[in-house]
Structure 1
């Protein structure tokens, strides 16, 4: 019996707004791929990201372009050749992992080489806003152990001061989303050090981050927009201390696992990250979380409504995915 592929575009409202240096959004629009083989089906979710030239239309068109190969039984190895790294391949790759697990009755993490999955503590994201807005948000989240603070460049010192005042005991990660500039980098890193920041994500624009190899880094710096897949790692040496591995960038769990192994061998710390999506997108990323120094898989916590069944979060602690969700 041939495999059947179906695609769905779904929208999940965000609780409030999600704001970063590049703009704001009020819903997470995702593309879900389902592969059915007889009575078994596997699902994968991706979030098309305009920063990387993706849209719902381009992602669905890319998957439709390989429909024949997928329905003829192409496997995950073949998929790496059929589609480039990115959101389209991610949805299909994760659906393949899920389908394999459902057909075999063997959890995906066992197939990936893990003996078990442990609960993870995820960061919780605070959107960019005025200092007063961010202080209020920090107060509401002050009981969470790890906060990810979105920054935007000018005025970030005041934003950090406000967040630290609102959540004096939380560990802070900051994410500039490429908004900082070379002439202010040293001062911004010094401000982060003053407020006890543990990690800085992507301070400079990708492709314009050579300066990071020439300046003192008082705080570990993590590549996000500069880090996509295994092939991107070599250029990051000397500039970054960590890499943010997101399945929508790597093109799925298969490449993410390879990238994590290569990153560790090259001396990078790992951050397991996500776009704003549902529990279906977070579930396979929990495998990368097992290898990560920092976990940022809070997508469902930012939504007004998640999928059912979804991941179980107790505060910021997330449990491994149930089989009914994925894998």
Structure 2
């Protein structure tokens, strides 16, 4: 990959905050807004945009991401490649935002969509999970009924004793929906073992990140009857090897691994190691979903529902219909510039 142009780029980086439609609860955290770093690269009349939220449990915040970008301003504006970013910045939200801005700008310069530049097949709409915030079982069941267009549901669970009830209540409310559960590091081996019969009875298809980071050895000899997915335990490709034989699914998030460039490399390596792939998100607008949508065509599980929990989104935006997500090239990564 060569530089996009010999002319200097103009870099803009700013933090945006957008409120959520309602408080969102997971193990140990409650979110009421979505804060993100938006990076814009201007090359004459051409504009590339990228959005990063960072990784909250690694203290990778929009403020810290902005400092990382500003420290490299001169280097970035002189021109850099996506491959060089892998050395200039660590995995995380800052590199994600900048990497995606470079992909978007590259699409404009070449007059080709990102998926084509990446050597991918033409995209199709993807079945996506819709996520239920951890709450009382009846509250989660009510919300599951409201999501009547969803065909796949992801239940956030917590480190208490009501997880089996939550799963049973949602299954009763949505008997035909595909289900997965996400503990966000909240289980012990004992609590997972106790809840597992209810998960099996409810037809849960995947259990995501049951144990805390650093406790991957708890997965050894677990013999779980349901596939286990790693999320927090796998940040980028360097974490793959130690999960072989421990989990069956790898959740790739662009904010974790640091952009679409690393995500595509990570996906290839994970498949070579025998893992199934999942694409997830840390929240965000359609500018976060769009590059992840490119990766989604390689994944058996897709979790790209971030914008539905926000009071406002980009224009144009990704769309949701019949439980699927669709991202036209006009949102991001197409040959023309999208509207903010």
Please confirm whether the aligned pair reaches a TM-score higher than 0.5, indicating the same fold. yes
Kindly indicate whether the alpha-carbon contact (under 8 Å) linking 1:143 and 1:170 is maintained by their aligned counterparts in 2. no
Name the residue aligned to 2:156: 150
Name the residue aligned to 2:99: 93
Q: Extract unaligned runs of 5+ from structure 2.
A: 1-6, 335-340
280-289 or 206-215, which deviates more: 206-215
- Structural RMSD (CA): 1.1
Secondary structure of the 1:18 match is: strand
TM-score, normalising length: structure 2: 0.94
Kindly indicate whether the alpha-carbon contact (under 8 Å) linking 1:142 and 1:168 is maintained by their aligned counterparts in 2. no
Secondary structure of the 1:43 match is: strand
Kindly indicate whether the alpha-carbon contact (under 8 Å) linking 2:132 and 2:153 is maintained by their aligned counterparts in 1. yes
Name the residue aligned to 1:192: 199
Report deviation, 1:94: 0.2
Q: Extract unaligned runs of 5+ from structure 1.
A: none
Which of 173, 177, 180 is 2:184 aligned to? 177
Kindly indicate whether the alpha-carbon contact (under 8 Å) linking 2:54 and 2:256 is maintained by their aligned counterparts in 1. no
Quote the Cα distance in structure 2 between the aligned partners of 1:204 and 1:100.
Answer: 40
Name the residue aligned to 2:292: 285
Secondary structure of the 1:59 match is: helix
Report deviation, 1:50: 2.2
Task: Work out whether 1:161 is the aligned partner of 2:193.
Answer: no
Name the residue aligned to 2:238: 231
Quote the Cα distance in structure 2 between the aligned partners of 1:96 and 1:105.
Answer: 14
Name the residue aligned to 1:32: 38
Once the two structures are superposed, the pairs formed by residues 1-327 of structure 1 within 5 Å of their partners are 1-154=7-160, 155-327=162-334
Kindly indicate whether the alpha-carbon contact (under 8 Å) linking 1:173 and 1:199 is maintained by their aligned counterparts in 2. yes
Report deviation, 1:140: 1.2
CA-to-aligned-CA distance 1:269-290 (integer Å, 9 cap, x gap) = 0001001100000000011110
Quote the Cα distance in structure 2 between the aligned partners of 1:319 and 1:233.
Answer: 29
Report deviation, 1:189: 2.3
Secondary structure of the 1:100 match is: helix
231-240 or 19-28, which deviates more: 19-28
Secondary structure of the 2:16 match is: strand
Secondary structure of the 1:147 match is: strand
- Cα 1:189–1:148 change in 2 (3 A) is same
Kindly indicate whether the alpha-carbon contact (under 8 Å) linking 2:55 and 2:256 is maintained by their aligned counterparts in 1. no
Report deviation, 1:305: 1.3
Quote the Cα distance in structure 2 between the aligned partners of 1:257 and 1:290.
Answer: 11
Kindly indicate whether the alpha-carbon contact (under 8 Å) linking 1:273 and 1:297 is maintained by their aligned counterparts in 2. yes
Quote the Cα distance in structure 1 between the aligned partners of 2:260 and 2:332.
Answer: 16
Secondary structure of the 2:36 match is: strand
Secondary structure of the 2:14 match is: strand
CA-to-aligned-CA distance 1:140-162 (integer Å, 9 cap, x gap) = 12441100000003210111111
Quote the Cα distance in structure 2 between the aligned partners of 1:245 and 1:326.
Answer: 19
Kindly indicate whether the alpha-carbon contact (under 8 Å) linking 1:141 and 1:167 is maintained by their aligned counterparts in 2. no
CA-to-aligned-CA distance 1:59-116 (integer Å, 9 cap, x gap) = 1001111111111111111111000111110000000000000111111111101131
250-259 or 208-217, which deviates more: 208-217
Kindly indicate whether the alpha-carbon contact (under 8 Å) linking 1:3 and 1:73 is maintained by their aligned counterparts in 2. yes
